[in-house]
Amino acid sequence: MFPILRNNNLARRLRFGEPLGSWARLMEDFLDDLRPWEPPVQGRLDLYEDDKNLYVEAELPGFQREEIDVTLEERLLQLGAEHKQEQEQKKENYYLQERSHGRWFRTVQLPANVQTDKVQASFQDGVLKITLEKQAQKQTRRIEVK
């Protein structure tokens, strides 16, 4: 597969007599052009915590609440979303169709045990927010031998 070139005007941007920084910019642009183009990633994810909870936030633009599936098994959180195309549309003059269906899936290893009965999830403005309450840490107790 050949990379898609994003910038064909490299030579035009190189001006003689400019400082060395322009040459470095030119090389950087050239190397950027060699990398294959990738579409923007949807479903970017943040995982953070405070003393009591873990928080997961995932960007899922274009998905509806009914299309999202969240599963928690021990310390594994599985997130999925899928557009389902219910009917096939045959239209003339279609040159590009990218929005009809798609799937996104992520599995996250949680850094702490959580209480499965106290998980809350909400979806608003394309952002899935999950709050997971941590389990109380097991305390180690030293036992005196008599």
pLDDT tens digit sequence for 1-37:
444 444 445 444 545 555 555 667 777 777 776 766 5
Residues 29 and 4 in one domain: yes
Residues 11 and 64 in one domain: no
pLDDT of 124: 94
pLDDT of 18: 54
Residues 57 and 119 in one domain: yes
Residues 79 and 104 in one domain: yes
Residues 77 and 115 in one domain: yes
pLDDT in tens, 83-139: 776 555 566 776 665 555 678 889 999 998 999 889 999 999 989 999 999 988 776
Residues 29 and 64 in one domain: no
Residues 59 and 24 in one domain: no
Name the more confident of 113 and 141.
113
HEC profile of the chain: CCCCCCCCCHHHHCCCCCCHHHHHHHHHHHHHHHCCCCCCCCCCEEEEECCCEEEEEEECCCCCHHHEEEEEECCEEEEEEEECCCCCCCCCCCCCCCCCCEEEEEEEECCCCEEEEEEEEEEECCEEEEEEEECCCCCCCCCCCC
Number of domains present in the structure of the chain? 2
Rounded to whole angstroms, the Cα distance separating 81 from 68 reads 4
Residues 104 and 71 in one domain: yes
Range of the domain at 32: 1-38
Does residue 92 fall inside a structural domain? no
pLDDT in tens, 48-66: 999 999 999 999 888 889 9
Residues 11 and 72 in one domain: no
Residue 146 reports pLDDT greater than 70: yes
Chain mean position to CA 54:
17
pLDDT of 91: 64
- State pTM to two decimals: 0.60
pLDDT of 1: 44
Residues 3 and 72 in one domain: no
Residue 75 reports pLDDT greater than 50: yes
